[in-house]
Amino acid sequence: MPAKSKKNFGIKRQEMAHKADHLCKMKNCHFSKQEVERLLQLFKEFTKAVNTEIKRGKGGIDRSKFRDILHQHFDMTDDVLMDKVFRAFDLDNDGYVSEEEWVLGMSVFLKGTIEEQARFCFGVYSMRGEDGYISREEMYLLLKNCLVQHQQEEDAEEMQKDLVELALKKMDVDHDGRVSVEDYTKAVAQDKLLMEALGPCLPNSKCRDGFLELVADEKHKQRF
């Protein structure tokens, strides 16, 4: 490697180590500094040649790339849910998952506590930025999306309506006819099976372990 690019490489490594040090100390980050560095390296790989905005401190992983990642690494196939997961990662709603959103999002996605993951799922299901509740109608649409394979059945609509009432009964802890994030976290704390009741939006254990292995892969790290 020529001296100049070797120097640049050194500076970039230092910058990344510094960022990783800052991110791993955030209170909601469950990764070690090494794991954060590796996540930042993956971020770099995923955004390579995608957009130049990153150089100006903006941009990041766009919606379509993020969907590819969910599909490839987490076996997700449902476009509607994948878009919602993207929006749950994109906290500032600028259309990109930034480095910080990526690391903190993955912290919840892969290693979150039950409460953090319940809040994440709630964020996926509720139309974030609107009223902050899951209404009966929204629940109906989410369940309809889950149960799309039963669409031909004549009584499918009735079944979906019954399911909505059942789900609402379990989740609407304060009985005001809609599900708030407090309702949701309380309901999930009581019964973990309710976590992804409105659609799969967290990785299954096989995908989670596979991705965590990628994050912990020391050999791969040497390439950077």
Applying CB under 5 A, among 15, 21, 45, 92 the residue interacting with Ca ion is 92
Q: Applying CB under 5 A, does 138 fall inside the site for Ca ion? A: no
Strand partners, 62: 96
Neighbours of 77 (CB within 10 A): 11
Q: Which stretch binds Ca ion (CB under 5 A): 2-10, 25-33, 86-94, 116-124?
A: 86-94
**96 vs 125, which CB is nearer to Ca ion?**
96
Contact 172, 178 (CB under 8 A): yes
Scan for tokens 């912290």, then name that residue: 107
CA separation for the pair 194, 187 (Å, rounded): 7
Applying CB under 5 A, among 62, 90, 138, 196 the residue interacting with Ca ion is 90
- What backbone phi and psi angles, to 5 degrees, belong to 134? -100, 115
**94 vs 213, which CB is nearer to Ca ion?**
94
Query: Least distance (Å) from Ca ion to the CB of residue 133?
Result: 7
Residues 172-191 close enough to bind Ca ion by CB under 5 A = 172, 174, 176, 183
Query: Least distance (Å) from Ca ion to the CB of residue 2?
Result: 36
Q: Applying CB under 5 A, does 62 fall inside the site for Ca ion? A: no
**100 vs 207, which CB is nearer to Ca ion?**
100
**41 vs 98, which CB is nearer to Ca ion?**
98
Q: Which stretch binds Ca ion (CB under 5 A): 31-39, 76-84, 94-102, 139-147?
A: 94-102
Q: Which residues bind Ca ion (CB under 5 A)?
A: 90, 92, 94, 96, 98, 172, 174, 176, 183
